[in-house]
């Protein structure tokens, strides 16, 4: 089943606050908020926690990265087949902290499509956004790397890159969703992202490092309804 839009995607990265048993705890909070509100929330736990988190919650669980290699003699790689067998519903591709070449992005998206896994292609500028949109992922997520992990949302610091990406991607494909990320922290940021034409947001530290994660998530989803 395709991911419902608009959506909030929470990337746990490899923060200690969201690894091991803490990953399960945060996943359950995300699931509870999604169930109580009806909001679409997708989570991407650390790769070593992917299988156990997928077995624990019913909301969509994504891999943070997958390698464009076949299963078999590929020791140390994370294969698409392995992710599917571990319960993943999709994957991030080309995150700013795990860049791939364009040909590798294309291969991962194609293989995931064959296996029925959704893909979110992360991009850092308009040309890469256009190139990835042409590969027909489920979403393209525009994230200026200089704003990732910062205190200022991309929707405030550089709203034009978001609106330009939305326009360019829509011209290439009407089916590819558009997300934005970097510095997203609250419902106002989410509401602005929707206003700029996106289908949701991708964020990490704003939730993972929050003192009250449930309250932050409830605030974030309020922005989907404004």
Give the active site residues: 95, 143
Sign of CA dihedral 60, 61, 66, 70: negative
Q: What is the CA radius of gyration of the chain?
A: 16
**Of 165, 139, 144, 164, nearest in space to 154 by CA:** 144
CA distances from 111 to 41, 115, 164, 172 (A): 24, 6, 29, 21
Per the structure block, which two tokens stand in for 195? 């206003």
| CA–CA dist 146, 114 (Å, integer) | 34
């Amino acid at each position: 089943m395709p991911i419902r839009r608009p959506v909030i995607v929470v990337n746990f990265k490899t923060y200690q606050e969201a690894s091991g048993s803490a990953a399960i705890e945060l996943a359950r909070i995300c699931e509870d908020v999604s169930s109580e509100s009806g909001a679409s929330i997708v989570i991407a736990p650390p790769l070593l926690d992917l299988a156990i988190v997928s077995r624990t919650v019913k909301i969509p669980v994504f891999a943070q990265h997958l390698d464009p290699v076949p299963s078999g003699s590929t020791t140390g790689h994370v294969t698409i087949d392995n992710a599917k067998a571990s319960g993943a519903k999709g994957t991030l591709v080309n995150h700013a902290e795990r860049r791939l070449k364009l040909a590798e992005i294309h291969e991962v998206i194609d293989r995931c499509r064959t296996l029925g896994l959704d893909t979110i292609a992360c991009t850092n500028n308009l040309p890469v956004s256009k190139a990835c949109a042409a590969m027909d992922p489920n979403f393209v997520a525009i994230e200026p790397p200089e704003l990732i992990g910062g205190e200022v949302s991309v929707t405030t610091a550089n709203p034009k890159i978001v609106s330009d990406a939305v326009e360019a991607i829509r011209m290439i494909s009407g089916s590819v969703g558009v997300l934005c990320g970097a510095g997203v922290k609250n419902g106002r940021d989410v509401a602005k992202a929707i206003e700029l034409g996106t289908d949701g947001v991708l964020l990490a530290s704003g939730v993972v490092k929050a003192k009250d994660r449930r309250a932050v998530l409830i605030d974030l989803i309020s922005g989907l309804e404004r």
